[in-house]
């Protein structure tokens, strides 16, 4: 099959697997990675290699930008302590412990062992986002995990680049240290500067479909240019997205809704393809190994996977215990619960960035096949084992009943309605009175239900009449679709919350 035909076949298989994951209430990244691993060994299955540099820009940049755009700066200021522990401390601890395993069990040089540690250290942003989107968890736990997934890749990639340079150059030099020191702050400054330029360019394409295309071009360009300048592309993309998100005054509501829908669809598609392709890399790795070499490599991989999981548990639970006991450690945050600590410890799925950095190793890297197999095993085990057990663990720990988002939605809606009613105080006209009635209805659940039923009946009658007018050739297609869109917006505003959202799977 051609590449295009293979890609179509994979996407069709992904759609089927997504429905299986939906009906079994399983995280789809784990299901897709597992299916990709099985599919890789089916005779005649397509062999699709991933170019590491392209994969990072294509799959990671949009996911990071999308997640960073939605991540509030207030949460970053409020949760900086646990975020620092996870995004920096956990990466350093995991890298160090895995490096020890690499030296002791695989016989790797120290710099090469640090490279291995940096490869398997960062939990995946796409995996965390995909899994958390399908769960109901305490807001602070979700914010911490999403924030970790935004910043831990930066720490890991900086360590990876420095250790790889040290391995290639025979040691850690002043030039490597200077590059490492400048990459993080430089990436943040570059991302903010890029956001300023992007906002100015966006004014020329505001309200157009080309504006949506430019958003994706910007995401990829920021990553690629930062990488070419030897800055942190992760921090550049995150800083760019957060800066842009602070200024939405020039974006119309219509284009914001459209842009969110486009980004949700494209990011979901990239996630699906990435997780499926990750599973299919197994055949490329195993094919180059003899049986004896494969068995020895699997022993090393098992030791590394165990170390990755245990080290995260040790760090998170240690900080959890200290934060509950000492106020100075947690600051003004409420004490973290034991259940939250256990869940965060277990929520450490590795993903595309681990695979991409492993495949990016030069061909003369010491024991390259062992390192690549270890990276794949870490991704596969954490995605499948941890990913498939997250939902049962949430129920077991009772974390799915802590926050009542429906109640929060109703209360917030009442607050907004009261604010709007106050703003109408200086408008005594009949039009203002009709708005007051509409806002008053929002504050009464029973009245809102009756209003919804009446409104849906009215829009249903409108829709039937509109179809009849078109069938009788009394209006053209252009007018028909404009009126249809108006009815759709009215009906969308009337629908209950659970019927407005489009589920990922």
- Output DSSP code: residue 204: T
Q: Give how far the C-alpha of residue 282 lies from the chain's centroid of Cα atoms, to the nearest Å.
A: 24
pLDDT at residue number 384: 83
Residue ranges covered by each domain of the chain: 3-403, 406-500
Quote the DSSP letter at residue 246. Answer: T
* Torsion angle (degrees, nearest 10) of CA 334, 337, 341, 346: -130
pLDDT of residue 306: 95
Longest distance between any two alpha carbons in the chain, whole Å: 86
Cα–Cα distances in Å, from 15 out to 9, 120, 145, 402?
A: 10, 29, 27, 32
Name the average pLDDT for the chain: 84
Residue 117 has pLDDT above 70, yes or no: yes
| Candidates 1.20.1530.20, 1.10.3720.10, 3.90.1300.10, 3.40.50.720; CATH matching 3-403 | 1.20.1530.20
Cβ-contact 236, 188 below 8 angstroms: yes
Can you spell out the DSSP letters for 338-350? HHHHHHHHH----
Mean pLDDT score, 118-130: 78
CA distance linking residue 147 with residue 83, whole number of Å: 6
Look up residue 175 and give its DSSP letter.
H
pLDDT at position 185: 92
CB–CB of 420/435 below 8 Å?
yes
pLDDT tens-place string over residues 175-196: 777 877 888 899 999 999 999 9
Confidence of residue 284 (pLDDT cuts 50, 70, 90): confident
Q: What angle do CA 58, 60, 62 make, to 5 degrees?
A: 75
Q: How far apart are CA 210 and CA 444, in angstroms?
A: 42
Does residue 250 surpass a pLDDT of 70? no
Q: What are the tens digits of pLDDT across the range 433-483?
A: 888 888 888 778 788 888 888 988 999 999 899 989 888 888 887 888 888
pLDDT at 481: 83
- Percent of the chain's residues with pLDDT above 90: 21
* Burial profile 91-113: b = 16 or more Cβ within 10 angstroms, e = fewer: bbbbbebbbebbbebbebebbbb
Under the banding of pLDDT at 50, 70 and 90, the label for residue 498 is low
Alpha-carbon distance 92 to 246, whole Å? Answer: 31
- Higher confidence at residue 272 or residue 128? 272
Asked if residue 34 lies in contact with residue 279, where contact means CB atoms within 8 angstroms, the answer is yes
What's the pLDDT tens digit per position in 204-230?
887 788 888 898 999 999 999 999 998
Q: What is the pLDDT of residues 18-62, one digit of tens each?
A: 888 888 777 777 778 778 878 777 777 777 766 777 878 888 888
Confidence of residue 170 (pLDDT cuts 50, 70, 90): low
- Per the model's pLDDT, the better-predicted residue between 336 and 40 turns out to be 336
Q: How confident is the model at residue 485 (pLDDT cuts 50, 70, 90)?
A: confident
Tokens of 16: 């089927």
pLDDT at position 197 is 93
Q: Do 147 and 71 meet the contact criterion of CB atoms below 8 Å apart?
A: yes
pLDDT at 318 over 80: yes
The predicted pLDDT at position 89 comes to: 93
How far is 463 from 483, CA to CA, in rounded Å? 9
User: For 298-311, how does the pLDDT look when each residue is reduced to its tens digit (9 = 90+)?
Assistant: 999 999 999 999 99
* pLDDT score of 177: 77
Length of the chain measured in residues: 505
Beta-carbon count within 10 A of 313 CB: 16
For residue 106, pLDDT over 70 is answered with: yes
Q: Is the pLDDT of residue 249 over 60?
A: no
Asked if pLDDT for residue 128 goes beyond 80, the answer is no
- CA Rg value for the chain: 26
Residue-by-residue DSSP string for 372-429: HHHHHHHHHHIIIIIHHHHHHHHHHHTGGGS--HHHHHHHHHHHHHHHHHHHTTT--S
Cα–Cα distance measured from residue 67 to residue 355, given in angstroms and rounded to the nearest whole number: 21
pTM over 0.85: no
């Amino acid at each position: 099959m051609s590449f295009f035909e293979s890609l179509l076949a994979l996407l069709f298989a992904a759609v089927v697997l997504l429905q299986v994951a939906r009906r079994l209430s399983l995280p789809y990244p784990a299901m897709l990675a597992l299916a990709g691993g099985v599919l890789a060994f089916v005779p005649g299955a397509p062999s699709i290699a991933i170019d590491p540099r392209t994969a990072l820009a294509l799959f990671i940049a949009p996911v990071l930008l999308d997640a960073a755009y939605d991540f509030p700066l207030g949460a970053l200021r409020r949760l900086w302590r646990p975020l620092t522990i996870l995004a920096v401390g956990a990466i350093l601890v995991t890298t160090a412990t895995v490096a020890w395993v690499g030296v002791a069990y695989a016989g790797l040089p120290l710099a090469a062992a640090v490279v291995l540690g940096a490869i398997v250290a960062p939990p995946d942003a796409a995996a965390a986002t995909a899994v958390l989107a399908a769960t109901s968890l305490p807001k602070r736990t979700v914010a911490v995990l999403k924030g970790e997934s935004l910043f831990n890749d930066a720490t890991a990639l900086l360590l990876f680049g420095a250790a790889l340079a040290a391995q290639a150059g025979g040691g850690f030099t002043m030039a490597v240290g200077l590059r490492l020191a400048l990459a993080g702050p430089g990436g943040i400054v570059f991302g903010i500067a890029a956001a300023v330029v992007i906002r100015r360019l966006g004014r020329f394409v505001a309200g157009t479909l080309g504006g949506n295309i430019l958003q994706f071009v910007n995401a990829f360009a920021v990553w690629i240019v930062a990488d070419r300048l030897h800055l942190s592309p992760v921090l550049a993309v995150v800083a760019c997205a957060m800066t842009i998100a602070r200024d939405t005054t020039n974006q119309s509501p219509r284009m914001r809704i459209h842009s969110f829908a486009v980004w949700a669809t494209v990011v979901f598609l990239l996630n699906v393809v990435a997780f499926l392709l990750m599973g299919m890399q197994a055949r490329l790795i195993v094919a180059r190994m003899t049986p004896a070499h494969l068995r020895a490599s699997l022993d090393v991989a098992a030791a590394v996977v165990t170390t990755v999981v245990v080290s995260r548990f040790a760090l998170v639970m240690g900080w959890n215990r200290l934060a509950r006991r000492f106020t100075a450690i947690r600051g003004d945050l409420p004490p973290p619960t034991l259940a939250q600590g256990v869940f965060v410890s277990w929520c450490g799925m590795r993903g595309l960035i681990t695979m991409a950095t492993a495949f990016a190793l030069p061909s003369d890297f010491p024991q390259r096949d062992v390192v690549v197999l270890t990276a794949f095993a870490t991704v596969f085990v954490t995605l499948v084992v941890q990913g498939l057990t997250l939902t049962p663990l949430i129920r077991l720990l009772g974390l799915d009943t802590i926050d009542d988002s429906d109640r929060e939605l109703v209360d917030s809606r009442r607050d907004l309605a009261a604010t709007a009613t106050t703003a109408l105080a200086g408008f005594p006209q009949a039009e203002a009175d009709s708005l007051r009635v509409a806002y008053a209805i929002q504050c009464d659940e029973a009245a809102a239900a009756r209003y919804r039923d009446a409104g849906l009946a009215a829009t249903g009658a409108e829709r039937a009449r509109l179809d009849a007018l078109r069938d009788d050739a009394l209006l053209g297609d252009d007018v028909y679709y404009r009126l249809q869109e108006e009815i759709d917006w009215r009906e969308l505003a009337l629908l209950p919350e659970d019927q407005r959202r489009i589920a990922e799977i």
